Structure 1
Amino acid sequence: MNTRTAVEIANRFWREVWQERNPDAADHLVADDFAITSGGRTIESREAFKRWATALLASIADFRFDVVESFQNEAGDRVVTRWVVTGRNRGFMGSPACYTPISMTGTAVLHVREDGLLQHNWVERSALEVQRSLAAAAHNLF
């Protein structure tokens, strides 16, 4: 697989699943046994990912996903993307829905298979910082 194709596959995933807020797009973008490792846990299977993504999208009002940059390894089977999610809290990470603004940065490493399907997504995100800001905002409400 050439490296341009791998980045295009990753960008299609970001666009269709996250920017268009359509977890069902995973049906044609990821393998049946796709896994995502995020927030210290691994969600295994395409169907489990779709449920997880649906819940995440529901927890952030006015959800927006912006790609900062993407690049790949020489073999073209790994794509790294830096991204930013913004929106308002509607229960993110189990917090009370207070509609406080959220801004979360992250880095994802995607494994792209030879057939063009995504196999795994490893995510590091600034969720702890977001959780702290939401806790501070909730404290100020009372």
Structure 2
Amino acid sequence: MSNTNSVDIVHAFWDEVWNAHDPEAVDRFVVDDFLIVSGGEEISGRANFKAWIAGFLAKVDDLHLEVAESFQNDDGSRVTSRWVLTGRNNGILGTAPDQQNIAMTGTAVWAVREDGKLLCNWVERASFELYRRLADQ
């Protein structure tokens, strides 16, 4: 694989999908049979991924994802990003939608196809810590 700009592709995905609050932008970035594994859940297929994003966005008002660090392997087939998600609670993790400011850290590992399309994403996020903060309020 000669793709040397995989980090740029992932950053564009964060900005154009998550920060723009636009699940439809997913079409420009991922393969039809895209797979994401997040929070112990597997979401398979582009349409299901877009629905999952829309549902997540509905639970966090003013969502913003700030990338702390990203890097890729030599051939660009893998990208890893550390990030911080901020916004206001509108029912994330089944909590009361109290509009409280929230922040959650996470790490994402991406598989990138040679043509730059995203194949798969594995996400680990600090949801338990966020849930405890919100539930203790």
Q: TM-score, normalised by structure 2?
A: 0.96
Spell out the pairing of 1:19-30 with structure 2 (5 A cutoff). 19-30=19-30
Partner of 1:68: 68
Q: Structure 1 stretches of 5 or more lacking a match?
A: 138-142
Aligned to 1:107: 107
* Richer in helix (by share): 1
CA distance, structure 1, for counterparts of residue 72 and residue 3 of structure 2: 7
Q: How does 1:41-120 map to 2 (within 5 A)?
A: 41-120=41-120
Instruction: Measure, in 2, the Cα distance between the counterparts of 1:89 and 1:28.
Output: 28
Calculate the aligned-residue CA RMSD, in Å: 1.0
State the match for 1:39 in structure 2. 39
Q: C-alpha distance in 1, partners of 2:14/2:97?
A: 25
Structure 1 residue 3 displacement after superposition: 5.2
Find the structure with the greater CA-based Rg. Answer: 1
- 1:1-38: CA deviations, max 9, x gaps? 44531111111111111111111111110000001100
Question: Which residue does the alignment assign to 1:129?
Answer: 129
What do residues 20-63 of structure 1 show as CA deviations (whole Å, max 9, x unaligned)?
A: 11111111100000011000111000000000000101101121
Whole-Å Cα distance in 2 between the matches of residues 123 and 91 of structure 1?
20
Q: Which runs of 4+ in 1 moved over 2 A?
A: 1-4
* Structure 2 unmatched ranges of 5 or more: none
Count of aligned pairs: 137
Which amino acid is the alignment partner of residue 70 of structure 2?
A: S
